[in-house]
A = this chain, B = another copy of it.
Amino acid sequence: MNLPETLARIQPLDAAAMAAARARQDMLTKPHGSLGRLEELSVKVAGMTGQPLPRTDRKAVVTMAADHGIAMEEQVSAYPSEVTPQMVYNFLNSGAAINVLARQLGARVTVVDMGVAVELDAPATLLNKKVAFGTQNMAKGPAMSRDQAIRAIEAGIAVVEGLVGEGLDLVATGDMGIGNTTASSAIVAAITGAPVAAVTGRGTGIDDNLLANKVALIQRALEINRPDPADALDVLAKVGGFEIAGLVGVILGSAAHRVPVVVDGFISGAAALVAGEMCPQARDYLIAAHSSVEIGHRVILERMELAPLLNLDLRLGEGTGAALAMHLVEAAVRILKEMATFAEAGVSESKEQDACSAS
């Protein structure tokens, strides 16, 4: 589907499936509410999927890679841009953190070249959706054209539709791109109006001087490009990145196909922010995996009213936090599906339920 068709297809959560899931939670052999956030999470997944007893066995992590003109021309990262393709090869050779975590989880990893700055000598397992050889330097002009942003989003939609065709119950978002915390901070500042310094962190680990440089460059990018906060696509095009745009497509496509999206950290969060501005209904399909060390992430989570499942001081990206959180999402759904009810197990219910017990 193209972008307008995808946006038009995103529906509200399924109230009947949620009611059925909630009713079943209350019959399971445990005190009501004793599994805390897992209970609401299972009800939410039922609403997303439209299934009172959702499947969770077909899981995928989509890790999208691209380069950033600002990182190729300026000093914003602790790592050179050549690390982006090196890490793509590492993903394809199963040596990266996301490969290890996806293997543990039983999830496949789909690696997508959305705009790496070099031609990749890659096997068929790499999805080639390259829009360009990296974005332009946003400190000098728009990172990409509006048309490129739409093409990148539609590439992300196509990726998720390919996975849906193979069978997909849960999807995790992941990113790789030297310089992409810079683009994400710019997106968050542009959309929320938060001061750049309040949403800009150290990324892979820059020092105070480089951080000051990064903040100044983002401010310059916002001044030069004047992205329109009311037009998320304009923000994405002017100060975003190809992998971020691809993830916007993954999120919108997943929502359109009623697939719950486990959103990783700051970069995925920036994509979720854009997707949510383009289609507020899409927010209902998001599960925030964790709270990142990157300071701008909190602003995203608050704006979107998402409560992260984990807080482990992660700041790696790739989808690692989302893969970790997927264990909890799967646990929540398995509890809903697989536990015995009070009646099945012959377990007595709470004495509270007697009308006279509170007298």
Contacts and interface: CB of A to CB of B under 8 A. Distances in A.
Given A205-B32, A320-B35, A352-B205, A93 B314 contact: no
A340 interface: yes
A212 interface: no
B78 A37 contact: no
A347 B87 contact: yes
Nearest to A350: B78
A36 B313 contact: yes
A330 B293 CA distance: 22
Contacts of A30: 96-97, 316
A89 interface: yes
A358 B35 contact: no
A93 B345 CA distance: 8
Given A309-B312, A340-B93, A347-B90, A33 B328 contact: no
A339 B36 CA distance: 33
A61 B331 CA distance: 16
A305 interface: no
A35 to B, nearest CB: 6
Given A204-B31, A352-B207, A95 B316 contact: no
Interface in A136-171: none
Interface residues on A, range: 35 or more
A334 B96 contact: no
Nearest to A310: B310
A16 interface: no
A101 B99 CA distance: 23
A335 interface: yes
Nearest to A326: B327
A71 to B, nearest CB: 11
A28 B314 CA distance: 15
A31 B36 CA distance: 34
Contacts of A310: 310, 328
Nearest to A341: B95
Contacts of A205: 31-34, 350, 352
A348 interface: yes
A331 B310 CA distance: 14
A41 to B, nearest CB: 9
A213 interface: no
A351 to B, nearest CB: 6
Interface string A1-41: 00000000000000000000000000011111111111000
Contacts of A33: 205, 315
21 contacts: A34-B315, A34-B316, A35-B312, A35-B314, A36-B293, A77-B351, A82-B348, A86-B346, A95-B344, A96-B339, A97-B335, A99-B338, A100-B335, A101-B334, A101-B335, A204-B350, A206-B352, A207-B358, A311-B311, A324-B327, A327-B328
Task: List the 5 closest A-B pairs by CB distance, nearest first.
Answer: A95-B340, A36-B313, A34-B316, A327-B327, A31-B204
Given A35-B314, A93-B345, 5 more contacts: A31-B204, A37-B313, A79-B350, A86-B346, A93-B340
